[in-house]
Amino acid sequence: MAVTPEQQAEIDAARAASATTRRATVPALEALLFEAMPVLDHGFIRVIDYMGDDAAVVQAARVSYGRGTRKVSEDAGLIRYLMRHRHSTPFEMAEIKYHVKLPIFVARQWIRHRTANVNEYSARYSVLDKEFYIPAPEHLAAQSASNRQGRGEVLDAERAAEVLHLLRDDAARCYDHYAEMLNEGPDGEPADPSRPGLARELARMNLTLNTYTQWYWKTDLHNLLHFLSLRADAHAQYEIRVYAEAMLKAAEAWVPLTLAAFRDYRLNAATFSGPMLAVLRRMLDGEAVVQAGSGLSKREWGEMMGVLGREG
């Protein structure tokens, strides 16, 4: 379960409160605010706060005294221009904050994005809950033969059952021993008063990497898009991609003009190297170019033909 009834009650109370503001406000994102969007088996993404909207991008680009917006079509055109020419600073003028619950091995990838603010739940200070990520059988894949950091075929049912048994069993045992070493009762007092509990900062080292942690994570729109371009990409590991996809959905509600430009100029775009452009020009001139003699390696040739939707 991603959220306990007590936590849901806190969320509901936060959602019930409201105030009047002069700030830019986005009704479609307000509708989602605080609500947990489930991700994986026990994780979630919650939008906690935001600053600005599509118009804030436009307003900053124009260094305006007022709202700074004109007709929607003009604003959209400006946003597309900024995105296309990588004028990134106006996109830094909108900000968003999430509460995320995620497995530790996903958190370790995520934290590599340095241009963000983070407060993580501290296992030095508090006790972690007994919750681990156990993949659904359809996501249990073999090592890819062609890509050292990718997945291949889904495991057959028998092999999947073996793996799931190991994952569940080890995570549970490690957690139980963690709790035993801590020796903390529900009230924080020793469960067994006759012996001391191991320091939390030490006991945590016994947990497995699929244990869930949580954090507040805040970033600006430019850096969010950079994160999404890497993590919502098909090459990203499934377990982080699903978080990126949930964030993409919330961003769509927040800044629809920016997101439309982002899809066109980033997510669905492709970059061609100098040698690839030379090949492209020859093809457009009607030449039947093949890999040999193209100046591209087999791998690059395959990537390029894939993007162009051609056999090659």
What angle (nearest 5°) sits at the alpha carbon of residue 211, between those of residues 179 and 136?
130
Q: How far is the CB of 268 from a second copy (least distance, A)?
A: 3
Q: To the nearest 10°, the Cα dihedral for 135, 139, 140, 143?
A: -130
Token pair 């935001």 is found at: 50
Tell whether residue 253 is a contact of a second copy (CB under 8 A).
no
Of 16, 14, 97, 89, residue with least CA distance to 50: 97
51 binds a second copy (CB under 8 A): yes
> CA separation (Å) from 128 to 64, 177, 196, 201?
47, 13, 19, 11
Select from 75, 79, 210, 294 the one that contacts a second copy (CB under 8 A): 210
213: β partners: 102
CB of 213 to a second copy, least distance (A): 9
| 258-297 residues near a second copy, rule: CB under 8 A | 263-265, 267-277, 280-281, 283-284, 297
Touching a second copy, residues 113-152 (CB under 8 A): 114-115, 117-122, 124-126, 133, 135, 140-144, 148-152
If one asks whether residue 22 binds a second copy (CB under 8 A), the answer comes out as yes
On whether the CB atoms of residues 244 and 229 are closer than 8 A, the answer is: no
Size of site (CB under 8 A) for a second copy = 134
Q: Contact, 206 vs 178, CB < 8 A? A: yes
Q: Which of 157, 159, 185, 287 binds a second copy (CB under 8 A)?
A: 159
CA–CA gap between residue 173 and residue 135 (Å, rounded): 18
Considering only residues 68 to 87 of the shown chain, the ones binding a second copy according to CB under 8 A are: 77, 84, 86
Footprint of a second copy on residues 94-113 (CB under 8 A)? 95, 97, 99, 103-105, 107-108, 111-112
Query: Using CB under 8 A, which of 92, 129, 245, 252 touches a second copy?
Result: 92
Among residues 46, 200, 231, 241, the one annotated as catalytic is 231
- Letter for the amino acid at 126? S
Q: Verify whether residue 231 is a known catalytic residue.
A: yes
In DSSP terms, 151 is beta-bridged to 143
Cβ distance to a second copy smaller for residue 121 or 249: 121
CB 249 to a second copy: min, Å: 18
Give me 82's structure tokens: 């900024």
Q: Which residues are catalytic?
A: 231
